[in-house]
Amino acid sequence: MNQIILRSFAKLNLFLKIQNKRIDGFHNIVTIFERINLFDEIQFKATNTGKIQIQCNHPHVPLGSSNLIHKVAIILQKKYQVKQGVKVVINKRIPVAAGLAGGSSNAATAIEGLTKIWKIKLNLREKQVLAGQIGSDVAFFLMQHPWGVGVQRGELVSKLPIKAKLWHILVVPKVKMRTPKVYQGLKLKPQEFGAEFYISKGRIEIAKCQKNRVLTNLLTKTVDNANILIHNLKRENTLEITRYLTNDLQPVVEGFCPRIKFLKQRLKSLNIQGVMLSGSGPSVYGITSSREEAINAAAILSKKYSQVFVVRTL
């Protein structure tokens, strides 16, 4: 096999709590991922040039060393002494810099695609270690599972045993939100404390945390709220799901871009439930009761916004 075409799916964050800013500049988080059926198509073709060539139909996608697919390819070439090159063609459908992890998903897809065409045998754990070198959300997509929980930077992930398939209306305003800028907007000071989490029977548990009452209480509340959301996702209790949707980055993004508040209010005026920012934005989604309700909302919202999607849990 010297050529393969793969789909690279987007995600939504139904829960995103920021624990603290780490000494290395990253942030420890607790997040619940939902993989959705909005996707890019990526073609990988092995070449004999040794070079990495990337083409994309979107003008804002970098084609050089800053592209995450390029970074994956370089790491694999060096570590496994790959002499072949690759030509990558990205058909971009996921909006760029939108809080939907399109770049991270592309990186995960590159790990899958390049290991196949270059005949590199890696197990899931080895792929996840590589993902951790690339970006925080990459490991989630390697699981190829609809639901997951991410901790630390988001790179430590576990599957969640949830069968719910939610319908969403998703609107992406024409404004770019760079993740580092949004996190800087939290204005947190680096701290050495943190916590270790694990998943037991589909629940998040705290394994370790600093013996500090304020911190312990904060983390306990975070874990409790995340577990309540997971419980209601398992029961497909939409009303309770909407009550526990969380994104600590939302106030920061609204401060940078006040029209996000207007967009949220517009969705709520259409009786859309659980309106929330995804990731570092500016994508805003809502939960609908059916595909038909999402389509009807999209018809109205498309009159003002050019990037409106009806999406579902994959």
Query: Coil, strand, or helix at residue 50?
Result: coil
Q: Indicate the helix (H) or strand (E) that contains 262.
A: helix 259-269
Per the structure block, which two tokens stand in for 280? 């570092």
Q: Is 176 one of the catalytic residues?
A: no
224 part of the active site = no
Structure tokens at 139: 């490991």
Those residues whose C-beta lies under 8 Å from the C-beta of residue 204, and which sit 6 or more positions away, are 30, 149, 151, 197, 198, 223, 226, 227, 230
From the list 21, 92, 137, 264, the catalytic residue is 137
Query: Among the options 11, 21, 127, 264, which is catalytic?
Result: 11
Please answer whether residues 141 and 35 qualify as being in contact, where contact means their C-beta atoms are separated by less than 8 angstroms: yes
List strand residue ranges (DSSP E) for the chain, in order: 3-21, 27-47, 52-56, 85-91, 147-152, 156-159, 167-171, 195-200, 203-209, 246-247, 273-277, 284-288, 308-312
Q: Which residues are catalytic?
A: 11, 137
